[in-house]
């Protein structure tokens, strides 16, 4: 029994809680800096959260027992004690939400081309699956050519029926059935076609960095980068993101040997070998959305609300310094 009391005393100690809070804070800071993708799902971080949660549950239980005894002995302090109890309980709910997120939270990146449909249940586990269809993707620009907003026009499809249509943009996510979709990034697929010596045309959609391998030649073409506003003075970087002077930067190889680099306009016919041509007809944008499911968020919100209310009540109910001084003065006078 003595050992159990000592363990309970240690786990329910406020000093232990403060030490654990510092450890969790330091670990979270280091994890965010060096291992952001894996640390928060590691056994070490989960173990720290579990021990801290146990500590806060015991501390809250102690506060509740203390609250009952003080409420009976001194009813003038009941409001302050309620605030303290809410504060501790709020921390417990926040930690519970964090633990639920650590074990059951999901994050995924979804790339969708205009006109395509993606089954979200393939990347986020859910009870009621649904799909996202990208109707259009548009970039809004300022007068100087810099982007002002990125808009993904999506349609939610569930059981082969349209359930919702929405615009996902930066700071304006879509929330559907507990899954939030954030506008994270975007990219381009290059519309390319090559014409071989027999006069046949073959069309492809090429991702930046990939190769075209035309028939009738041993040479290959690397689609290096799409530049929306080409300016030789800016080199491989675009002058602005607005497509005022679009170019496709490409390079031609024979085996491992680089033969040359070029910047082709849309629909420009580029000869890469005798009677073998490549034409870049344009680009097709695709959006990159971040899908996030966080079942622990309601618990964290509830805990945050309880914490704020508890702190407010505790501060308002605390005896003022003037009253303390007045009380001590009266004692001296007596």
Same-domain status, 194 and 181: no
Statement to judge: residues 178 and 193 lie in one domain? no
Residues 69 and 94 in one domain: yes
What is the extent of the structural domain holding 137? 107-187+288-293
* Domains contained in the chain, number: 3
Within 10 angstroms of residue 270's Cβ, the number of other Cβ atoms is 17
Distance of CA 271 to the CA centre of its chain: 44
Task: Give pLDDT, residue 75.
Answer: 55
Tell me what pLDDT residue 329 has.
41
- 98/129 same-domain check: no
Q: Is 137 exposed, middle or buried (0-12, 13-18, 19+ CB in 10 A)?
A: buried
* % residues pLDDT > 70 (the chain): 90
Reading the block at residue 287, the tokens are 């959006």
d(CA 90, CA 307): 5
Claim to verify: residue 10 and residue 39 sit in the same structural domain? yes
Considering the domain architecture, whether residues 95 and 143 belong to the same structural domain is answered as no
CA torsion, ordered 258, 261, 266, 269, to nearest 10 deg = -60
Q: What percent of the chain has pLDDT over 90?
A: 43
CB 130, CB 121: distance < 8 Å: yes
Same domain, residue pair 154 and 216: no
Q: What is the reported pLDDT for 37? A: 66
Average pLDDT over residues 318-329: 53
Instruction: Starting at the earlier edge strand, list the strands of the sheet with 147-158.
Output: 117-119, 131-141, 147-158, 161-169
Structure tokens given for 290 = 């971040």
The average confidence (pLDDT) of the chain is: 85
Verify that 268 and 217 share a domain, yes or no. Answer: yes
Which residue would you say has higher pLDDT here, 42 or 245? 245
| pLDDT band with cut points at 50, 70 and 90 for residue 333 | very low
Same domain as 178, residue 140: yes
Q: Answer yes or no: do 128 and 113 share one domain.
A: yes
Residues 138 and 175 in one domain: yes
**How do residues 65-102 score in pLDDT, each as one tens digit?**
776 666 555 555 777 778 888 888 888 888 888 888 88
| pLDDT tens readout for residues 240-258 | 999 999 999 999 999 899 9
Digit-coded pLDDT (tens) for 118-164: 999 999 998 889 999 999 999 999 988 888 999 999 999 999 899 99
Residues 229, 257, single domain; the answer is: yes
């Amino acid at each position: 029994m003595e050992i159990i009391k000592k363990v309970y005393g240690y786990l329910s100690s406020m000093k232990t809680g403060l030490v654990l809070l510092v450890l969790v804070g330091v670990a979270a800071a280091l994890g965010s800096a060096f291992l952001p993708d894996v640390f928060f799902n590691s056994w070490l971080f989960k173990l720290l959260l579990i021990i801290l949660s146990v500590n806060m549950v015991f501390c809250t239980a102690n506060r509740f027992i203390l609250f009952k005894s003080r409420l009976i002995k001194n009813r003038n302090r009941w409001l302050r004690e309620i605030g303290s109890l809410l504060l501790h309980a709020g921390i417990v709910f926040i930690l519970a939400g964090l633990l639920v997120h650590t074990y059951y939270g999901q994050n995924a990146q979804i790339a969708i081309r205009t006109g395509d449909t993606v089954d979200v249940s393939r990347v986020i586990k859910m009870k009621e699956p649904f799909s996202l269809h990208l109707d259009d993707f548009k970039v809004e620009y300022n007068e100087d050519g810099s982007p002002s907003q990125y808009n993904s026009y999506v349609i939610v499809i569930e059981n082969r029926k349209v359930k919702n249509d929405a615009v996902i943009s930066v700071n304006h996510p879509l929330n559907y059935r507990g899954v939030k979709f954030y506008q994270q990034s975007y990219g381009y697929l290059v519309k390319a076609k090559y014409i071989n010596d027999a006069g046949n045309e073959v069309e492809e959609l090429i991702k930046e960095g990939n190769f075209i391998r035309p028939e009738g030649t041993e040479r290959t073409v690397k689609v290096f980068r799409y530049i929306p506003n080409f300016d030789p003075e800016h080199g491989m970087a675009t002058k602005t993101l607005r497509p005022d002077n679009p170019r496709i930067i490409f390079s031609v190889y024979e085996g491992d040997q680089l033969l040359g680099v070029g910047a082709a306009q849309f629909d420009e016919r580029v000869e890469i070998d005798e009677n073998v041509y490549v034409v870049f007809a344009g680009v097709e944008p695709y959006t990159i959305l971040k899908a996030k499911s966080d079942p622990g968020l309601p618990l964290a919100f509830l805990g945050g609300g309880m914490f704020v209310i508890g702190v407010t009540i505790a501060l308002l109910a605390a005896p003022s310094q003037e009253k303390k001084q007045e009380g001590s003065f009266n004692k001296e006078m007596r």
